[in-house]
Each structure stands twice: as structure tokens, then as C-alpha cells.
Amino acid sequence: MIEGTFEVVGARAALTYFGALGPAGLSHGYLFTGPAGVGKKRFARALAQSLLCETPKSTLLGYCNACAGCTLFRAGTHPDFVATEGTVKIGKDGGSAQHDEELTARDLVRELSLRGYRSAYRVVLLGDVDFATHEAANALLKFFEEPPGGVVVLLTTSSPGTLLATIRSRFVEIGFPPLGTAEVESVLRAGGVEAARARLAAEASFGSITRARAVLEGADEGIRSASFGWFAEAMRGHTPDHGFLRLDDRSLNAADKRALVGEMLEIVRIAARDWAALGAGADVPLLAPDQRALLAALPQRTPQAAATLLAAIAETTKLAETNVSAGLVVDYLRMQLGA
């Protein structure tokens, strides 16, 4: 189905969708949603290279890695590929040096108005996009009013609920599920991580390359163990400190804080699932076997109460994908657990 190379992991829905798509069916905008570290940007880059590859192919996915288009792409200098990460702000006149690495709405309007220079396509990748203002979001809406031929915008986000409904509805939305442990392990191994460490990190990753890398760097231990501790305290009806989420840290933007809370929610979900399994005496492997003692010591509840609790966590995860503030999400979750 794919001609040439196409190196991605996971991305099952995206592979199915684009694998069945001809050039005529290509939309002007795609929104890739899913947790951090499951390959959204990696897929978007591979899709971009496929579109800009100059070797004739009968499929949309796949690139040769050898033509001039691929060479420029790999060097990061292809004139028809623009990639940026993070917040889109309203445009300001030249002066504000402190934000000069951030895309402004004016930059976005300009990038979206150009046609392909050497390729039939022009690909604009907005990774982990966060529109700081309605004006910034409107820059994108203008594009959809009259999109130049061949221009494709790829957005990735782990919190699609924060996008304006008017923006979201313009995009073809494709979900990226968590990776399998073996997939995470293979990516780590391909990156040169030694076998035993790769396996351990993959097991602690809950399907996210980002989390696996954090485990390898030891950076994950902070939020992981703090989240398990927070869960245990909240389950006892206490009000545990959530300073580890850095909600008052002004050096973090709203998207960073949402990512931290999303991370904590994911760990709480695992903790609750393991706690419920222990309470039911279910003979299933724990997702976090290293936390067995902590979770087994927590008071058990009736099966129905345990089910209600798991549902409340799922509901909180949905809430966290909206514009509700991270602090309120954490308070809401604590009240659900302590009930």
C-alpha cells in the first residue's frame, strides 16, 4: 500500500485513512489528536515528506529519501514545509524580542497564503498548537475561507477541546491512540537505548514515547511518584498538596500546565484501575506493579463505588480537554476521589 519509506509507529487510524486516500481526496486541514508522545508529530512529518517527495508514486504515503525534495526536507530547508510548535499569538510589530521564536498570527496568515514553491504542495505543521487569542485563531479561519491550492495544514494537539469549535469543525480529525509497550520499546531501541533499560522504560510509559524518555532521564519519577502519592491522599479524603503540578509557576504557559495535569490524570487513572483490580481480587497484572503496596493499603469500596470512581476519572479527563482551568480540574478530581 505504501511505496518507498514511511517510518512511523502506532498511528493505526491515520495509516488506514491516508493509505486509502488519493491526491484528489486530500483535505486542506487535518487535526491529529491524542496523548503526548504517541507519534502525532512524527506521522505529520512523514506525511509532509511524502507529499513533498518528487519521486512519482501511486500512493499518498511514502517517500524515497533520495530525491531533491527529500534531501531538502531532511536538511530542514524545504521551502514548502513550515513547522512550528506551541502558541500562536496575535501579530505584533517587530519589536517584541522576547517572543521572537513564537509564531504570530501575522506570520501564520503569510505562511498560509503562499503556494508551493518547488512542489505541488505546501505543508504547514502546527505542533501542539495553542491559539493565545481569538485573533490568532481567526488567522486560520481566514485560510479556510479560500485555501490556496495544494496547501495542507496539519495541527496536532493533546487537548482538542481547547480549540474553538469553529476551527475544529474545519479539520478532518484523526485520533492517535497510546502505543503498545512493544512499539515504545522498539522506538527506544532504534534510538540506541540498551535493551533492558528500553523494556523498563516502555513498561512505565503507558504507551507514550515522551513519558518513556522522561523515565529514562529520571525526570518522570517526580511527577509519577507524586501523582501516586496525591491519589492515595485524595482517596483517604485529604486535600493533598499539588505543588508538583506547578500551577502557580508563571514561567509555564497554559498548554504546559494542561500537559502536566494530563500526565497526572493518566497516572491517577492507572492508580485507580490497579486499586480497583486489587479490591476485586482480580487476577490481572497491575499496570504499576511498583505501587502495589501503596494501593493495597488504601481503603476498599463496594464494586459499584469503585466503578463510579473510574467513571468520574474518565469524566475528569474529558473536562481537562476543555478550557476549564487546570486548578479547577484538580479540585474536581480530588472531590470525586474523596467522596
Residue 5 or residue 300: which is nearer to Zn ion going by CB?
5
Give the integer Cα–Cα distance in Å for 151 and 287.
Answer: 43
C-alpha pair distances (Å), 315 with each of 37, 48, 224, 290: 22, 35, 21, 26
Q: Minimum Å distance from CB 69 to Zn ion? A: 5
Cα 179 to chain centroid distance, Å, stands at 12
Residue 68 or residue 314: which is nearer to Zn ion going by CB?
68
Spatial neighbors of 87 by CB under 8 A, at least 6 apart, are 102, 103, 130, 131, 132, 253, 255
Q: Minimum Å distance from CB 112 to Zn ion? A: 25
Residues 53-92 that bind Zn ion (CB under 5 A): 53, 55, 63-64, 67, 70
Binding mask 144-183 for Zn ion (x = CB under 5 A): ----------------------------------------
DSSP 170-187: TSEEEE-PPPPHHHHHHH
Contact segment (CB under 5 A) with Zn ion among 48-56, 91-99, 264-272, 319-327 equals 48-56
- 122 contacts 29 by C-beta, under 8 angstroms: no
Give the integer Cα–Cα distance in Å for 307 and 187.
Answer: 35
Residue 6 or residue 228: which is nearer to Zn ion going by CB?
6
Q: Minimum Å distance from CB 130 to Zn ion? A: 32
Q: Minimum Å distance from CB 50 to Zn ion? A: 9
- How many CB atoms are closer than 10 A to CB 214? 21
For 30-104, where are the alpha helices, taking DSSP H only?
Answer: 40-52, 68-75
Residues 89-128 that bind Zn ion (CB under 5 A): none
Residues in binding contact with Zn ion, number by CB under 5 A: 6
Binding mask 5-44 for Zn ion (x = CB under 5 A): ----------------------------------------
C-alpha pair distances (Å), 246 with each of 95, 250, 317: 30, 9, 19
Residue 52 or residue 163: which is nearer to Zn ion going by CB?
52
Residue 54 or residue 203: which is nearer to Zn ion going by CB?
54
Residue 53 or residue 272: which is nearer to Zn ion going by CB?
53
Q: Minimum Å distance from CB 84 to Zn ion? A: 23
C-alpha pair distances (Å), 244 with each of 121, 209, 332, 339: 44, 21, 17, 23
Q: Which residues bind Zn ion (CB under 5 A)?
A: 53, 55, 63-64, 67, 70
